[in-house]
A = this chain, B = another copy of it.
Amino acid sequence: METTTRRQFLKGMGGAAIGLVATTGAASLLSCSPKVKAAPGVPWPYKPLDPVAVAERAYAAYSEGGCMYGAFEGLIGELREKIGAPYDSFPAVMMKYGAAGVVGWGTLCGSLNGAAAAIYLLAEEKVAKSIINEVFGWYGTQALPTYQPKQPKFPQIPTSVANSQLCHVSVTTWSKTSGFKTGSPERAERCAWVTASVAKYVAELLNQQSNGTFKPAFAVSSDVSDCLSCHGKGGSVENVHTSNQTSCTVCHTDIGKGHPNQ
């Protein structure tokens, strides 16, 4: 069989073209229609990063635009320096929106939002999902922050385990653990260190993926899987559209040990 199939032909065109096809359909590309206004695809090219350089850049960027921008720019800024195009066309400053769980709404921790955005830009979708699961799982169970910047504003920052990926839960848990108020400069420094910690961990995982050593290890805890066995997909109740989580009872504090019978 010497016939080149459309799939083989497109494969030979490289990642960018394949991405383009994925968003526009092969027919549009092959016909070279001048009307095609397709967005470029992903993943974008990757080169192994120095995780400490990523962390330091993320820490600095936090001061300029908060947690989501910090984590995203820590990673993408390093690639912009190393690779140039297409990274120099990406308006990383837009990621400032995720600060404090999106402009102060306390939802998803911005460092995770920025990390996830960067990961989907840098890895094929199936791998990206696995890496995000690792990062989100790690964030929920790790005593954070794990990284101390080289020139910190405070010599020490207490750690806490968030048991959640939400800004509000993560920050309030840290505040209760550390005794510092959430409006304190120590809290802002804690979030800057967390941003650096997350960006560094993502760089380590992306490097592993790049050199073929990444091994997905995340699994939901038995606490969560027990809840999902009834409330999740296929369960008798099936009223929860969440497949991954660190803890259900961190919010559902009223669930007693006798549940569901009592």
| Chain A residues engaging chain B, CB cutoff 8 angstroms | 19, 22-23, 37-42, 44, 76-77, 80-81, 84, 86-98, 100-108, 112-113, 116-117, 119-121, 125, 128-129, 132-133, 136, 165-168, 171-172, 175-176, 181-183, 187, 233-234, 238-245, 251, 253-254
B105 and A107 contact, CB distance less than 8 A? no
CA distance A101 to B113 in the complex (A): 10
The 4 nearest A-B residue pairs measured at CB: A106-B242, A97-B120, A104-B243, A182-B241
A168 and B241 contact, CB distance less than 8 A? yes
CA distance A196 to B209 in the complex (A): 35
* Nearest chain B CB to A17 CB, angstrom units: 13
B108 and A182 contact, CB distance less than 8 A? no
**Chain copies in the assembly?**
2
A136 and B88 contact, CB distance less than 8 A? no
* Nearest chain B CB to A90 CB, angstrom units: 6
CA distance A125 to B87 in the complex (A): 22
Nearest residue (CB) in B for A90 is: B39
Nearest residue (CB) in B for A119 is: B97
CA distance A128 to B97 in the complex (A): 8
When distances are taken between beta carbons in the complex, the residues of chain B under 8 Å from A90 are 39-40, 90
When distances are taken between beta carbons in the complex, the residues of chain B under 8 Å from A80 are 37, 39
B102 and A136 contact, CB distance less than 8 A? yes
A239 and B181 contact, CB distance less than 8 A? yes
CA distance A139 to B112 in the complex (A): 22
CA distance A39 to B76 in the complex (A): 10
Nearest residue (CB) in B for A133 is: B103
CA distance A165 to B77 in the complex (A): 30
A113 and B120 contact, CB distance less than 8 A? no
Nearest residue (CB) in B for A101 is: B242
- Known contacts A39-B87, A116-B103, A233-B182; is-contact A93 B166 (Cβ 8 Å): no
CA distance A252 to B195 in the complex (A): 27
B108 and A107 contact, CB distance less than 8 A? yes
CA distance A100 to B240 in the complex (A): 11
CA distance A107 to B39 in the complex (A): 27
When distances are taken between beta carbons in the complex, the residues of chain B under 8 Å from A41 are 91, 93
Nearest residue (CB) in B for A64 is: B23
When distances are taken between beta carbons in the complex, the residues of chain B under 8 Å from A176 are 239
